[in-house]
Amino acid sequence: MSEPGPPAQMGGGRSAASPAASAMELEMSETLLGEGRAPAKVILVGEHAVVYGQPAIALPVPGLEARARVFAIAAGPTRLLAQFPSAESRPPLELDLLAAADDEPLAAAARAALRYAGRTERTPWRIELTSQVPSGRGLGSSAAVAAAVVRAVGAAAEQDWDAQTVADLALEGERRAHGRPSGIDNTVVAFGRPIRFQQGRAEPLVVGAPLCFLVADSGRRGATSELVARVREASEARPGTYAGWFARIGQLVDDAATAIARGNASRLGRLMDLDHLILQAMRVSTPELDALVAAARGAGARGAKLAGSGGGGAIIALVDADGAAAVRAALIGAGAVDLIQVDLSATGADADADRVSAAPGAPGGPA
């Protein structure tokens, strides 16, 4: 995905620097100008290999979300105040966007959005962010907060940004948070629907029959940037082996997309199991994640694997709706500290004709 250009039309054309605007801003103190939300995400198949150009499938987790609101304040610079789900895992943040370091992920996403809106970090706005998405659990917390902030800034600037624009601007935060992200996390949280993603391009997933997943949190944190760096180092040390694993994961993803389209849950479960085996070989799983995977399978899940970067975080299990209770109990028994159910409903027969987005320059994509 390329850098977003300026919008064809800039809405909300008030200049933050003019005296008239300042007086107006003073009067509008505490006025809510815009709001943005974005959900958590889970990777169904293809993590890590997606960084190397292979496809992956990701799902939004609608019950968990980040929410940002932009208020007018008396004077600039733009400020960003963030509260995360747990102060122990991530303390509250207060940023002055003029002074914040360039490598601060949320500041980077907010600045990218302000500039795209034709604004600067001197705009007298206070961005308030809250998030329910725990960090370090493979649930896309950094992407969700970045996308929520971007959306709120767009709304405050009275500009109607499409999901691809939100994804591209949120990627600025992801780059600071993870080094070399594939772009899948910011894309799935911006679109808010299940996608097959490859090299900056997202397509909606065709779902032939409803599917039920359980996401189980191991309670251990994993740092995506470290895990991605670890896989990079290992792949540079053993290029042939890793190239083979990445290509095999890419095949599993395509087979999984076909299984989902056909509503073939038993095939999808087997593919998830195979993906977990390769992720284990890459040494991104942990004993806690393996125990959860084994417990889910032992209790009747059709398949299970770690979800996200690994090194901690969560697993995802495919369950039959009538067997979900037994798998839940087994996961809690095996140490899960939190469980989230993600349901995929069947898409219409014509959904495969409906491309979500295309990378700039790609056929059918923006110029």
Considering the complex, state which of residue 124 and residue 140 has its C-beta at the smaller distance from ligand MEV: 140
To ligand MEV, the closest distance from the beta carbon of 299 in angstroms equals 26
* CB of 25 or CB of 168, closer to ligand MEV: 168
- Between 164 and 198, name the residue whose CB sits nearer to ligand MEV: 198
Closest CA to 352 of 210, 211, 204, 209: 204
- CB atoms under 10 Å from CB of 230, counted, come to 18
Using alpha carbons, list the distances in angstroms from residue 217 to 20, 194, 292, 328, 341.
Answer: 51, 20, 9, 12, 12
User: Residue 87: is it exposed, middle or buried by C-beta count within 10 angstroms (0-12/13-18/19+)?
Assistant: exposed
Closest residue to bound ligand MEV by CB: 182
State the alpha helices, DSSP H only, in 15-101: 19-27
Residues designated as active site = 185
Strand 303-307 and strand 32-45: pairing?
Answer: unpaired
Kindly tell me which of 34 and 136 has the beta carbon lying closer to ligand MEV: 136
Cα 344-350-351 angle, rounded to 5 deg: 40
Q: How far is CA 193 from the centre of its chain?
A: 11
Q: CB of residue 61 vs ligand MEV: minimum separation in angstroms? A: 12
The answer to whether 259 and 268 have CB atoms below 8 angstroms apart is yes
- Smallest gap from Cβ 5 to ligand MEV, in A, equals 24
Asked whether the beta carbons of 11 and 159 are under 8 A apart, the reply is yes
Residues binding ligand MEV (CB under 6 A): 43, 47-48, 50-51, 138, 178, 181-182, 184-185, 224, 228, 308-309
The least distance separating ligand MEV from the CB of residue 7, rounded to whole angstroms, comes to: 27
Please identify, using beta-carbon distances, which residue of 164 and 224 lies nearer to ligand MEV. 224
Q: How far is the CB of 181 from ligand MEV (least distance, A)?
A: 4
